[in-house]
């Protein structure tokens, strides 16, 4: 089972959603307070039901928020970002060489996030 790992950074708090095997599936921005970070986790749990908007294809169909946006980064790797109902980015992925890996990452978020507990890491 997955888990949200909350870490304190020099400038605030962030979380990683990790799969059962310990791999990081998605990462948050840095929040100024731990409470804001917890709100971010709850937002991921709520919004991970979104559809996928594949921005790597021509004339892609726009999907309503919440949604996962699949895109190519500057180095040509596939990434996704989860956007909440208000359009804010609440979690992002690492880069994937293949689109299939990126789509598997999204499925992993959908599977792991809703019931994932959170743990604090020092």
CATH number at residue 97: 2.30.29.80
User: Count of domains in the chain?
Assistant: 1
Tell me if the pTM is above 0.75.
Answer: yes
Q: What is the pLDDT of residue 1?
A: 84
- Between CA 82 and CA 52 the distance in angstroms is 9
Range of the domain at 18: 3-121
In tens digits, the chain (122 residues) has pLDDT values of 899 999 999 999 999 999 999 999 999 999 999 999 999 999 999 999 999 999 999 999 999 999 999 999 999 999 999 999 999 999 999 999 999 999 999 999 999 999 999 999 86
Instruction: Supply the pLDDT for residue 73.
Output: 96
Contact 15, 113 (CB under 8 A): no
pLDDT of amino acid 102: 98
Q: What pLDDT, on a 0 to 100 scale, did the predictor assign at position 121?
A: 84
């Amino acid at each position: 089972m997955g888990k949200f790992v909350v870490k304190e950074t020099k400038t605030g708090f962030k979380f990683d959603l990790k799969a059962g095997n310990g791999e990081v599936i998605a990462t948050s921005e840095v929040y100024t307070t731990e409470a804001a970070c917890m709100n971010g986790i709850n937002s991921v749990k709520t919004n991970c039901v979104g559809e996928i908007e594949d921005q790597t294809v021509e004339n892609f169909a726009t999907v309503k928020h919440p949604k996962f946006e699949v895109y190519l980064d500057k180095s040509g790797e596939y990434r996704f970002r989860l956007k909440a109902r208000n359009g804010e980015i609440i979690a992002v992925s690492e880069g994937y060489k293949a689109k299939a890996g990126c789509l598997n990452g999204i499925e992993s978020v959908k599977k792991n996030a809703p019931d994932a507990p959170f743990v604090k890491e020092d």
